[in-house]
Amino acid sequence: MAQRVIAGITMSLDGYITGPNDRPGAGLGEGGERLHWWVFGGPWTYETGARGDADPVDQEYLGSVFPTGGAMLVGRWMYEAAEGWGDDPGFGVPAFVVTHRPHPRVVKGTTSFDFVTDGFAAAVARAREAAGERNVLIMGGGDVLRQSLDAGIVDQLTLTIAPVLLGGGKRLFDGMQRLDTTFERTRVVESPWATHLQYRVKRRTGEE
């Protein structure tokens, strides 16, 4: 199967991908932990850390996406807000960080982070090359995902809707430039904690 670019992100019912004041140590913002309760099968906090396992339905969804990846694309702010995902993220593939600030390569366990300073397109090219015949997974955050949609490189987008209201924070589609992008829903996965809406992305109106 040909390489694809796959993106996914979790959004609240009122349209936020983080709560207010997202920052290192609280990467999802104030109250934003609730967005990812589905990942861990229930409540968690920044103070206690994430514990528990996803519901079998959510595990099946995750298992249909992440093992297909050969490389990841991530923004610098997300990398810092997640504090580099700890000592060993366990991604098992190279990750390319889109940034304007140089930083030495970081290797944590089976995951490497290369900081690409010569533009978004260069980071995409490096991720595609590293992935080989496997997929490129866009981890986020919102700015990198918007750039990917505007660039017309996303083949599949999953919006995971968490049944919470955050009242403020960052919105995914604010600032989108390419409004001719259309989305064909291909799959709906419902679990006790979230609804995963999977779309095939059409890069121009009417394009297959």
* Cα distances (angstroms) measured from residue 84 to each of 71, 97, 192, 208: 16, 11, 29, 37
Q: Given a cut of 80, is residue 32 above it in pLDDT? A: yes
The pLDDT value recorded for residue 91 is 94
Residues in the chain: 208
Helices of type H across 132-172: 142-151
Closest CA to 139 of 97, 186, 194: 97
Q: Is the pLDDT of residue 1 over 80?
A: no
Domain boundaries, the chain: 5-202
The highest-level CATH class for domain 5-202 is alpha beta
Percentage of the chain beyond pLDDT 90 is 86
Asked whether the beta carbons of 40 and 50 are under 8 A apart, the reply is yes
Give 48's pLDDT tier (boundaries 50, 70, 90): confident
Residue 204: the pLDDT is: 57
